[in-house]
Structure 1
Amino acid sequence: MQRSTASHSPALDRRIARLRELAEAEPRLEGVLLYGSWTLGEADAHSDIEAYLYVRDAHAEDFDGREFLGRLAPLKLAYTNMYGILAVVFDDLMRGEFHLVAAGPGIEEVPSWRGTVHLPDPGAAVLLDRGGRLTAAAARLADPCPPEPGPTAQQLADELANWTLMLAHVLGRGETARAHALLHTVVAPQQLQLCRLLRGSTTHWLTPSRALEQDLPAADRDRYTATTAPAVLPAVRTAARRSWQWSRELATEAAARWGTRLPAALHEEIGVLLERG
């Protein structure tokens, strides 16, 4: 069943409607494809607008994305971010991320996103399609493609062991800030993914902390909270130990369910290092 793209953000709805009007009137654009919370029916007053602007190949080098988006609404900020995406801030503080892509190769790439992008209602996500190719490509993303449990669990369990070992060594050096960053930006997302896999809650797979309060049981939320800490060495050490204990429990649960490998001796050694740190 397709999910509705109805949002709880009238401002975003109006901006998307305006983007459609501008795109239809801009002959250099061949297609526009939305992605993100609006296409999942999860947009609210805090959501941004995310889209691919497919520029006709002949104009790929001369199309001015900043100028075009300035017609959508006045811009307070516009720059190319670290991922090569045109990031903007509109006058009402709504954020936007726009990929400016040559239509030829860009549209051909869309089906390869299966497994990383889900468009429950491709018809609503496609704001402009002059030739029909974009609609056909987006339709390939209509069905969810959840991660394969066994191999994914093995990958995540191995990642958690590897990165937590690094965390233990960093703590051993007394590098508080680096350990804090590792714990919260590297270990925690993979931990939450493994937890989501075990709970059968993979809707927000790519951003596993999203809607955590609604998606996961209270017990898991409490375990996650216990792995967070201020950037103070004793607190980070305590959080790291709690994090590794939870990772081990998740890995053990995965092994029991899917037969994944469980290097018990290594796990014990990592625990010993964390206790020393």
Structure 2
Amino acid sequence: MPHDRPARARTAAPAPLPADALPLARRIALLRTTAEADPRVEGVLLYGSWTLGEADAHSDLDAYLYVREEDAAAFDGREFVERLAPLKLAYTNMYGILAVIFEDLMRGEFHVEPDGTGIAEIAGWRDQIHLPRPEAAVLLDRTGRLTAAARELAALTPPEPVATAQQLTDELANWTLMLAHVRARGEHARAHHLLHAVITPLQLKLCRLLRGSTAHWLTPSRALEADLPATDVERYATTTGPLTPEAVRTASANSWQWSRDLAAEAAHRWSVRLPSELHEEIARVLSSSSRS
């Protein structure tokens, strides 16, 4: 039978883990043996903190389950995952991913994909997912295709600085002007959301680009305290605050000043073009709103 082949790619021995990551390690080991015993599963690929060597007691179990094309439609992802441990919650989240909470409150996300099209899509993950140790990320690979695809994600290509800095400085000007307008309208909750959900990630990316610390590019707040100098973390802190008109006004002003300082640094280093007149106008709009 073609699917009676032994699993070829077993997980490489992981780097030493902190003691509090051992429950995750045990669950991953169980996931591997469970998948190996199910002939419908062609491959299992981990992503997230485990594959980056950053797992701890608070890490999730994130995995792609590649199921044989002929079995994919009928495959019950919840039933499969429940073999690892009892579940307190399981549902399909807004991104179409099986999200679970195990009985010990460990979170998990499981993408169930047909093996043919699913593995082929990995080629499009470049610059989105980084697998520095591909053999540690691949728990099961019955054909070798998954391991080959994962190896293409081993090298981390840092963002090109000049074009990226230009994009980020332009984005910061645009979104900060929107922030000024909605705050002037009296929509303090919306302004608060813009600061934290839209503007801050852009600032942190520009800051990481300037500091040469882009390992956590896709989630720029991750390991912020360890990755960036204390002075940058302190600047970031001044752009946050509670949802009150005065706090949002202060955070908005501090945020735009930090954006301008980062933009000026980028312009000095990479000759990024800055619309200085527009920057001054945004500052005036932020400071002159009578309804803030």
The interval holding the TM-score normalised by the smaller chain is over 0.9
> Which amino acid counterpart does residue 249 of structure 2 have in structure 1?
R
The correspondence for 2:268, drawn from 246, 256, 262, is: 256
Matched residue SS, 1:261: coil
Cα distance in 2, alignment partners of residues 152 and 5 from structure 1? 33
Map 1:184-203 → 2, pairs under 5 A: 184-203=196-215
Q: Does 1:26 align with 2:38?
A: yes
Structure 2 counterpart of 1:52: 64
The correspondence for 1:80, drawn from 92, 96, 111, is: 92
Structure 2 counterpart of 1:144: 156
Structure 2 counterpart of 1:7: 17
Superposed CA RMSD in Å reads 1.3
Matched residue SS, 1:237: helix
Contact 1:241 1:275 in 2 (8 A): yes
Q: Does 1:227 align with 2:234?
A: no
How big is the shift at 1:111?
A: 2.1
How big is the shift at 1:260?
A: 1.3
Matched residue SS, 1:71: coil
> Which amino acid counterpart does residue 192 of structure 1 have in structure 2?
L
How many residues of Structure 1 are paired with residues of Structure 2 in the alignment? 276
Q: Does 1:111 align with 2:123?
A: yes
Structure 2 counterpart of 1:91: 103
Q: Does 1:127 align with 2:139?
A: yes
Unaligned runs of at least 5 residues, structure 1: none
Describe the superposition over 1:193-252 as per-residue Cα deviations: whole angstroms up to 9, x where unpaired. Answer: 000000000111111111111110011011000000100011101100000000011111
Describe the superposition over 1:242-273 as per-residue Cα deviations: whole angstroms up to 9, x where unpaired. Answer: 00000011111111111111010111110000
Describe the superposition over 1:88-124 as per-residue Cα deviations: whole angstroms up to 9, x where unpaired. Answer: 0000000001111111111011122111111111001
Contact 1:7 1:38 in 2 (8 A): no
Matched residue SS, 1:120: coil
Structure 2 counterpart of 1:205: 217
How big is the shift at 1:60?
A: 1.1
Cα distance in 2, alignment partners of residues 87 and 223 from structure 1? 35
Structure 1 counterpart of 2:7: none
Cα distance in 2, alignment partners of residues 62 and 5 from structure 1? 37
> Which amino acid counterpart does residue 100 of structure 1 have in structure 2?
V
Matched residue SS, 1:168: helix
How big is the shift at 1:6?
A: 3.7
How big is the shift at 1:79?
A: 0.4
Q: Normalised by the size of structure 1, how large is the TM-score?
A: 0.98
Matched residue SS, 1:206: coil
> Which amino acid counterpart does residue 139 of structure 1 have in structure 2?
R
Describe the superposition over 1:112-168 as per-residue Cα deviations: whole angstroms up to 9, x where unpaired. Answer: 211111111100100011111000000001111111111111111111111100000
Structure 2 counterpart of 1:163: 175
Moved more, 111-120 or 79-88: 111-120
Cα distance in 1, alignment partners of residues 163 and 51 from structure 2? 29
How big is the shift at 1:5?
A: 4.3
Cα distance in 2, alignment partners of residues 143 and 101 from structure 1? 24
Cα distance in 2, alignment partners of residues 155 and 29 from structure 1? 42
Matched residue SS, 1:72: coil
> Which amino acid counterpart does residue 35 of structure 1 have in structure 2?
Y
Structure 2 counterpart of 1:180: 192
Q: Normalised by the size of structure 2, how large is the TM-score?
A: 0.93
Cα distance in 1, alignment partners of residues 198 and 172 from structure 2? 9
Matched residue SS, 2:83: helix
> Which amino acid counterpart does residue 17 of structure 2 have in structure 1?
S
State the identity as a percent.
69
> Which amino acid counterpart does residue 165 of structure 1 have in structure 2?
L
